[in-house]
Amino acid sequence: MIACLDVDYREPAAYAAGLAFRTWSDATPATEKVIPVVGVHPYQPGQFFRRELPCLLAVLRELPPVAVVVVDGYIWLDGVSVAGLGAHLYHALAGKVAVIGVAKTSFAGAGAAVEVVRGRSTRPLFITAVGMSAQSAAEHVRSMHSPDRIPTLLKRVDLLCRQAG
| Structural domain boundaries in the chain | 2-163
What pLDDT band is residue 49 in, cutting at 50, 70 and 90?
A: low
**How confident is the model over 14-28, as pLDDT tens digits?**
999 999 999 999 999
pTM score: 0.93
The reported pLDDT for the residue numbered 52 is 84
pLDDT band at 84 (very low <50, low <70, confident <90, very high): confident
Measured in whole angstroms, the distance separating CA 74 from the mean position of its chain's CA atoms is: 9
Does pLDDT of 40 surpass 80? Answer: no
| pLDDT (0 to 100) of residue 121 | 87
The answer, yes or no, to whether residue 50 has pLDDT greater than 70, is no
pLDDT tier at 106, thresholds 50, 70, 90: confident
Mean pLDDT of the chain: 90
For residue 79, what pLDDT is reported? Answer: 62
* Rounded Cα gap, residues 38 and 106, in angstroms: 31
Confidence tier at 44 by pLDDT (50, 70, 90): low
Q: What pLDDT, on a 0 to 100 scale, did the predictor assign at position 83?
A: 81
pLDDT at 9 exceeding the cut of 80: yes
**Average pLDDT over every residue of 16-44:** 91
Share of the chain above pLDDT 70, in %: 90
Neighbours of 56 (CB within 10 A): 27
Q: How far apart are CA 38 and CA 13, in angstroms?
A: 5
Q: Return the CATH number of 2-163, one of 3.40.50.1100, 3.30.2170.10, 3.30.460.80, 3.40.50.12280.
A: 3.30.2170.10
